[in-house]
Amino acid sequence: MLNSRFAKVAIAVLLIASFFTFAACGSKQPQSADSGNLSGNITIAGSTALQPLAEQAARMFMEKYPNVAITVQGGGSGTGLTQVVQGAIDIGNSDIFAEEKLDANTAKSLVDHKVAVAGFAVVVNKDVTVDNLTQQQLIDIFTGKITNWKDVGGPDMKIVIINRPASSGTRATFKKVVLKGQEEAQGFALTEDSSGAVKKAVADTKGAISYLALSYVDDTVKALKYEGVEPTAQNIIDGKYPIWSYEHMYTKGEPTGAAKAFLDFMMSDEVQKGPLTKLGFIPVTEMKTK
């Protein structure tokens, strides 16, 4: 009784498995004509900001080269860098330069591929009437020297800082570019982990200020001008607006084979002008500054 049931289950499993195998073969056959001889597995992990882009590019790439299998995972920039150093993955995504997280020697073993640019805007709650802040004003606000909006020409309202976690790439960029590396006041700001939660918190909290990737900015919050310059993709490309950072894909040593082909594909117009722009990134190929 038990054995025959076991046999039935085994047969069913085999049938299902073989069905999927055949189905997979079937779908592969017609496209493989133009695929050349590129094949292999690529594993990608790291930055959650870069994850949607990596996923879309991987899908497009696998359609072109059906013999290549790409796995894309998140995990955060730290995970991406750690795992690519250990050789556990082929490509590690990171929001910031490896040198800023790893020690100099380890960072040297990695090759940096700058695939996209992410722009950031300083955003405030809608009832803050300020439209523009200078770098010095932002430094004073985030280091706790200015605590009321009236000191920068706004209403008499307490400033509520909403930070990203200290480990986040966005915050690192903001600290480096805007705060010139100065330490923020301790035990003072609120922290929200994700860009979505930051946006929600800024929209709901009176007098709130934070920073968000341009792709997250919508009309629930107010994006400020920085030194009189509006945060737009064009201003970043032209080098007028400085709050942006590279999105990196790191490989251990120079990439070869499928990984190299994929990284080249990331730089092609097909990705740079396609999903990359659509997801709110700025094509790295168009940048006119550094």
Partner 1 sequence: MTVDKKYESKRKVADMFGRVIVFISALLLIIITVSLFLFVTSKGLSTFIKDGISIKEFLFSTTWNPDREVPAVGSLQFIIGSILVSAFAIMISAPLGVSSAIFMVEIEKKLGQKILQPAIEIFVGIPSVVYGWVGLTVLVPFISKHFGGLGFSLLAGILVLTIMTLPTITSVSTDAIRSLPVEIREASYALGATRWQTIRHVVIPAAKSGILTAIILGLARAFGEALAVQMVIGNRPVIPKSFLEPMSTITSIITMDMANTVMGSVWNDALWSLALLLLIISFTFIIIIKLVGRRGMYK
Binding footprint of partner 1 on the chain (CB under 8 A) = 2-3, 48, 74-79, 81-82, 101-102, 160, 165-169, 183, 186-193, 197, 200-201, 204-206
For residue 256, the minimal CB distance to partner 1 (Å) is 25
For residue 262, the minimal CB distance to partner 1 (Å) is 23
Q: How far apart are CA 224 and CA 154, in angstroms?
A: 13
For residue 129, the minimal CB distance to partner 1 (Å) is 20
For residue 171, the minimal CB distance to partner 1 (Å) is 9
For the chain, what's the residue count?
Answer: 290
3-state secondary structure of 225: strand
Instruction: Work out the widest C-alpha separation in the chain, in whole angstroms.
Output: 83
Measured from the CB atom, the residue of 160 and 261 that comes closer to partner 1 is: 160
The answer to whether 56 and 275 have CB atoms below 8 angstroms apart is yes
3-state secondary structure of 84: helix
Q: How far is CA 91 from the centre of its chain?
A: 14
Measured from the CB atom, the residue of 106 and 132 that comes closer to partner 1 is: 106
Sign of the dihedral through C-alpha 116, 104, 180, 217? positive
Measured from the CB atom, the residue of 28 and 206 that comes closer to partner 1 is: 206
Long-range contact set of residues 100-108: C-beta below 8 Å, sequence gap at least 24: 100/172, 101/77
Q: How far apart are CA 200 and CA 186, in angstroms?
A: 23
Measured from the CB atom, the residue of 93 and 272 that comes closer to partner 1 is: 93
What are the b/e assignments for 21-48, b being 16+ CB within 10 Å?
eeeeeeeeeeeeeeeeebebebbbbbbb
Measured from the CB atom, the residue of 60 and 107 that comes closer to partner 1 is: 107
Q: How far apart are CA 97 and CA 246, in angstroms?
A: 8
For residue 167, the minimal CB distance to partner 1 (Å) is 4
For residue 100, the minimal CB distance to partner 1 (Å) is 10
The contacts of residue 275 (CB under 8 Å, 6+ apart) are 53, 56, 57, 60
For residue 48, the minimal CB distance to partner 1 (Å) is 8
Measured from the CB atom, the residue of 38 and 189 that comes closer to partner 1 is: 189
Measured from the CB atom, the residue of 180 and 273 that comes closer to partner 1 is: 180
